[in-house]
Amino acid sequence: MRDVIWPLVLIVSLATPVAAQVGFFGYVGVMCDHDDPFDDSGLTDYRAEVAGFTNANHVCLPADPTAWADRIRTADAAFRPILSIEGAFDFEGAGPDGASGQATWPFILQAIRDSGVDPGRLILHLVDEPTLRGIRMDWVSLAAARVRADLPQAEVMVIEACRIEGPPPIPPEVTLWGFDCYTIPDPGAEPYFMAFLNAALWSLHDGQRLVLIMDANHTPIHAANGLAPDAMADVARAYAALALATPQVAGVIGYTWPGGVDNLDERGVRDLPPAVIAAHKEVGRLLLGLAP
């Protein structure tokens, strides 16, 4: 995989590195009713834990639609909501024009309106890793266009998985695009990662910006690749350095704050050693230009 060479223009940085703050920083799983299996607290809302060093975090809608507006309003009072809306478009079923896809989005749209939250505050996470999952890109474009027509002030985000072939086509209808690529100690020093990133930057359309997905969890795969739990502190610092050196980066999202989001082998930042948690707080304040 790491022997792949894309055209030189894609490997060379597309812009002179200039240190700058990013627009947003936060984590996956903060308000998703998820109980971290690695503690005994029963906590499912982590707003208090990430306060002071994040300004945008992942929010999921609860099962009860009558609670959606309040969830959005409550999240917005604490940070900028990164709201998952994938379920509205039935990407793994009949798609946005199917019965479910036609019915669900209007309910979410109404909940956003009822919340009273400024749509310009919302980062709407449309779909996660669509190419890896075999989701049709024309469906992604259709859904993104629908969301932007209804909420033109909101950001519409798609996150892909890195792959040997390079970035898939980036739908012009989305405003934020990013990718995840795990178990790399220093992405800025990894040719494969940087080739993928620079190819993505080359492919962005006017009005689109990049989101960096920070490797912020620890699994047996990390261990097998030589990354001990303590090493995730330096991984966080490396992602921050890359974000600050890449002017096209709009924000950084750490995957994940709580553990067990995907499986019981996955520890989130809050489950890692105190030095790692301290490094993430340091990184968040650095990225957002906050006082140490």
The tens digit of pLDDT for each residue in 110-124 reads 999 999 999 999 999
Q: Listing from the earlier edge strand, what are the strands of the sheet with 249-255?
A: 24-27, 249-255, 209-215, 176-180, 155-161, 123-128, 80-84, 56-59
**Angle of the 99-115 helix axis to the 68-78 helix axis, nearest 10:** 50
The domain 8-288: what is its CATH number?
3.20.20.80
> Is 179 in contact with 16 (CB distance < 8 Å)?
no
CB under 8 Å to 223, separation ≥6 — which residues?
A: none
Is-contact 226 192, C-beta < 8 A? no
Query: Which residue, among 231, 208, 217, 224, has the nearest Cα to 271 in the 3D structure?
Result: 217
Inform me whether the pLDDT recorded for 31 exceeds 80.
yes
> Binning pLDDT at 50, 70 and 90, where does residue 44 land?
very high
Sequential DSSP letters for 147-159: HHHH-TTSEEEEE
Residue 21: its pLDDT value, please? Answer: 79
User: Quick one: pLDDT at residue 10?
Assistant: 33
pLDDT digits (tens, 9 = 90+) for 178-237: 999 999 999 999 999 999 999 999 999 999 999 999 999 999 999 999 999 999 999 999
The single-letter DSSP state of residue 86 is G
Strands (E), 64-207: 80-84, 123-128, 155-161, 176-180
CB 279 within 8 A of CB 240: no
pLDDT per position as a tens digit, 83-101 = 999 999 999 999 999 999 9
Q: Tell me, what's the pLDDT at 17?
A: 38
- pLDDT digit string (tens) for 130-151? 999 999 999 999 999 999 999 9
Is pLDDT above 70 for 71?
yes
| DSSP letter assigned to residue 89 | S
pTM for the whole structure? 0.93
User: Is the pLDDT assigned to residue 244 strictly greater than 90?
Assistant: yes
> Is the CB of residue 276 less than 8 Å from the CB of residue 17?
no
